[in-house]
Amino acid sequence: MKRLRLILGDQLNHKHSWYRNDDDDTLYFIAEMRQETDYTKHHIQKVVAFFEAMEAFANRLRDQGKKVVHYKLDGKNNTQKLGTNIAALVEERAIEKFEYQLPDEYRLDQQLKQLADDLSIECEAFDTEHFITGRNELAEFFEGRKSLLMESFYRHMRKKHDVLMTESGKPEGGKWNFDQSNRKKWKGQPQVPHEKGFRKDVRKTLKRIETAGVTTFGNIDPQNFSWPTTRADSLKVLRYFCEHLLVHFGDYQDAMDPDQVYLFHSRLSFAMNSKLLHPMEVIQGVIEHWQDNKSSISLNEVEGFVRQILGWREYMRGIYWKEMPGYARCNRIDNQKDLPGFYWTADTQMNCLHHAIKNSLDHAYAHHIQRLMITGNFALLLGVHPDQVDAWYLGIYIDAIEWVEITNTRGMSQFADGGLVATKPYVSSGSYIDKMSNYCKGCRYNVKEKTGEDACPFNSLYWNFLAEKREHFAGNQRMAMMLSTLDRMDPDDLEGLRSRARQVIRSPHDY
């Protein structure tokens, strides 16, 4: 039977059982399409990374003797839309069965279901064989429970998959979570090894994107492209992380420095989100390395890393499928302001925001705490509409795919789901940023001052946010202390803070 198998750009799973179960009548189809470059405005490095990875994947399948149709953006048969491309191929090649892997994005899931209904041939959907949990496993796990606490899901995952567990069924080290040990400020030491980069020449791919007139943003050095776009390169990044960065990963997980883009972070999110690496292979690789090097790498470094992948990553995917499509519209604390223009230029005097945004524009990367406690924190304190915050995060990062971007942005960062994902809003004044980073020393603003021309804008915005949104946090135990401090504040002092905050909110571009 003549079969057409679709491979989406984030389905580059070399180990999928498809590739062990095919024959001469199987045709694989992978395509660069305007429907994917244009559904939001992407960072140029993100588009380049996907196209490079897709091309390498198609070539590898061909090298293995498989039949592959790979449409480039400028291909003459490319209609730029998934549905029409597939319908045309089905007709031209007299295809008898259409097969696809379940997409991880609601938009594509709907589109493929519709396409399968419309095609007059047999269609079948397959699992991507990538995630550790099934699409609905989180919803089933939390069924009947009041809260969707990540920590309980994480413990369940540790037990179920026997990860970092002792033979007697207890967590390694006697504790589930070493988060408290993962909050060191980085003060120039230990030295940060250069990131494992690949000085790849991507000029051809870039030219194709530019010639097609795709609108992108951000910067790229096309002769020195440093993201892994093949499985072999992704494995090198994983090995490099284990050998050079893991040793300090947990300790400095939340630290920030103006001169350090990656610190001890792994840079593995693109490799995993495109499915070049399986999350369990990353977890096992790290644990095996730790087991061989227990005298130099402590458990908190490893547990901190495992929690991000076995816990947060799987959790976010489960939340996505549980809550979509409504999640994409939630705005439970009613934020309506515009995202300041400097999110697209880094042109601000606030040093922390300048560096977090500049990194993002230059490298399509910022680490978790920069995303959460600098750009996300500021947008939330300002009261920016989550649609605009979402569009920015979905476009700017190399790893931004909706299932993991939207849950982190609307849920964890913007509290737009009213506390489904985050048990309290992730907001802070300047003092948290000063505690975790080296930004404030070089800033035009004074982190210790609350009002006046030189006061750090985060300080007044923070108290203003609590006062303005307090009704949304009534009954939230984790907010009780902050709200009681707010209540004890001298009314004149509070008004001074709120007046300064109103100035910042009115014209954030002046700061």
Among ligand FAD, ligand SF4, none, the one that 428 touches (CB under a kind-dependent 5 to 8 A) is none
Q: Which residues pair with 26 in a beta bridge?
A: 3
Question: What residues make contact with ligand FAD under the rule CB under 6 A?
Answer: 265-269, 272-273, 308-309, 312-313, 316, 367-368, 371-372, 376, 393, 397, 399-400, 404-405, 408-409, 412-413
Which among 271-279, 349-357, 402-410, 473-481 is the span making contact with ligand SF4, rule CB under 6 A? 349-357
* Nearest-approach distance from CB 106 to ligand SF4, in angstroms: 35
Which residue, 22 or 390, is less far from ligand FAD as judged by CB? 390
| Size of residue set near ligand SF4 by CB under 6 A | 14
Q: How many residues does the chain have?
A: 511
> Which residue lies nearer to ligand FAD by CB, 71 or 432?
432
Residue placing its CB nearer to ligand SF4 in the complex, 164 or 352: 352
Which of these ranges, 42-50, 183-191, 300-308, 350-358, lies near ligand SF4 under the rule CB under 6 A? 350-358
> Rounded to whole angstroms, how far apart are CA atoms 272 and 69?
24
CB 286 within 8 A of CB 100: no
CA separation for the pair 405, 411 (Å, rounded): 10
CA distances from 90 to 6, 82, 116 (A): 12, 12, 12
Instruction: Build a one-symbol-per-residue string for 101-120: x at contacts with ligand SF4 by CB under 6 A, - elsewhere.
Output: --------------------
Does 443 interact with ligand SF4 (rule: CB under 6 A)?
A: yes
Are the beta carbons of 432 and 461 closer than 8 angstroms? no
Residue with tokens 């020195």: 224
Name which of 299 and 497 has its Cβ closer to ligand SF4: 497
From the list 26-34, 188-196, 267-275, 439-447, the region that binds ligand SF4 by CB under 6 A is 439-447
SS3 content of the chain, % helix, strand, coil (to 5): 50, 10, 40
Beta carbons within 8 Å of 446's beta carbon, 6+ residues apart: 454, 455, 456
Q: Which C-beta is closer to ligand FAD: that of 67 or that of 244?
A: 244
SS3 455: strand
Q: Does 430 bind ligand SF4 (CB under 6 A)?
A: yes
Q: Could you say which of 6, 30, 427, 456 contacts ligand SF4 (CB under 6 A)?
A: 456
Going by DSSP bridges, is the β-strand pair 122-126/67-71 parallel, antiparallel, or unpaired? unpaired
| Options 50, 154, 439, 463; binder of ligand SF4; rule CB under 6 A | 439
Cα distances (Å, whole numbers) of residue 204 to 167, 200, 211, 456: 53, 11, 10, 45
445 binds ligand SF4 (CB under 6 A): yes
Nearer to ligand FAD, 29 or 311 (CB): 311
The Cα–Cα gap between 202 and 90 comes to 32
Q: What is the distance between the alpha carbons of residues 153 and 212, in angstroms, rounded to a whole number?
A: 45
Residue closer to ligand SF4 (CB basis): 311 or 430: 430
What are the distances in angstroms from CA 495 to CA 12, 168, 489, 492, 499? 55, 57, 10, 5, 6
Which DSSP category does 479 fall into?
A: G
- Smallest gap from Cβ 465 to ligand SF4, in A, equals 15
Beta strands in 195-304 (DSSP E): 216-217
**Binds 372: which of ligand SF4, ligand FAD, none (CB < 5-8 Å by kind):** ligand FAD
**Smallest separation, CB 188 to ligand SF4 (Å):** 18
DSSP-assigned states of every residue in 285-308: HHHHHHHHTTTTS-HHHHHHHHII
Instruction: Say if CB 6 and CB 101 are below 8 A apart.
Output: yes
Joined tokens for residue 366: 């910022």
382 binding ligand SF4? (CB under 6 A): no
CB of 120 to ligand FAD, least distance (A): 37
Site string for ligand SF4, 198-237 (x = CB under 6 A): ----------------------------------------
Residue 440 makes contact with ligand SF4 by CB under 6 A: yes
Q: For ligand SF4, give the closer residue by CB, 103 or 430.
A: 430
Q: How far apart are CA 84 and CA 452, in angstroms?
A: 60
* 36 touches, from ligand SF4, ligand FAD, none (C-beta below 5 to 8 Å by class): none
The partner residues of 165 in beta bridges, in order of sequence, read: 171
Which residue, chain included where needed, has tokens 């429970």?
145
260 or 266, CB closer to ligand FAD?
Answer: 266
**Residue 352 interacting partner from ligand FAD, ligand SF4, none (CB closer than 5 to 8 Å by kind):** ligand SF4
Among 302, 350, 364, 380, binds ligand SF4 (CB under 6 A): 350
Q: Does 357 bind ligand SF4 (CB under 6 A)?
A: no
Taking CB under 6 A as the rule, does residue 356 contact ligand SF4? no
CA distance 413 to 303: 23
According to DSSP, residue 275 is labeled T
CA 172 vs. chain centroid, Å, equals 28
Q: Could you tell me the smallest distance in angstroms from the CB atom of residue 428 to ligand FAD?
A: 13
The entry of ligand FAD, ligand SF4, none near residue 408 (CB within 5 to 8 angstroms by kind) is ligand FAD
Cα–Cα distance for residue pair 129/486, rounded to 1 Å:
49
Residues of this chain that bind ligand SF4 (CB under 6 A):
350-352, 430, 433-434, 439-440, 443, 445, 447, 456-458
